[in-house]
Amino acid sequence: MAKDVNQLGEEIIRVLKTCYDPEIPIDVYELGLIYDVMVNEENFNVKILMTLTTPNCPVAESLPAEVKEKVRSVDDVNEVELELTFDPPWSQELISEEGRLELGLL
């Protein structure tokens, strides 16, 4: 039986938490690099809106590709579209409370 869109969203977030920015020891989700995850209820296509810590980030090529590949590997996900944006620019305010704890910012 196919998952519902909420279950699929939770699985996608679990997978996103396995992708790390190599310069900061926190996953991209807790780091606040993922701005939005949209799952189409009809066909389970996924659109991810994400940013990087800086536009000239050393992993500007590899990190979005890793995120896209890992989300594509989730059962029932059909297509994955990843859009990189720098508006608004990433800042430390976007780091989750859990991420702030890990970095010792709290």
Distance between CA 76 and CA 104 in Å, rounded?
Answer: 37
102 in any annotated domain = no
Q: What is the count of structural domains for the chain?
A: 1
Question: Could you tell me if 90 and 55 are in contact, meaning their C-beta atoms sit under 8 angstroms apart?
Answer: no
Distance of CA 33 to the CA centre of its chain: 6
16 in any annotated domain = yes
Local confidence band at 93 (pLDDT 50, 70, 90 cut-offs): very high
Q: What is the mean pLDDT of residues 64-87?
A: 96
Pairing label, strands 34-39, 80-84: unpaired
Does the structure show a pLDDT above 70 at 1? Answer: no
74 in any annotated domain = yes
99 in any annotated domain = no
Q: What pLDDT does residue 25 have?
A: 85
- Domain range for 13: 5-90
103 in any annotated domain = no
Tens digits of residue pLDDT in 4-44: 889 999 999 999 999 998 888 899 999 999 999 999 999 99
- In CATH, what number is assigned to the domain containing residue 59? 3.30.300.130
DSSP 25: S
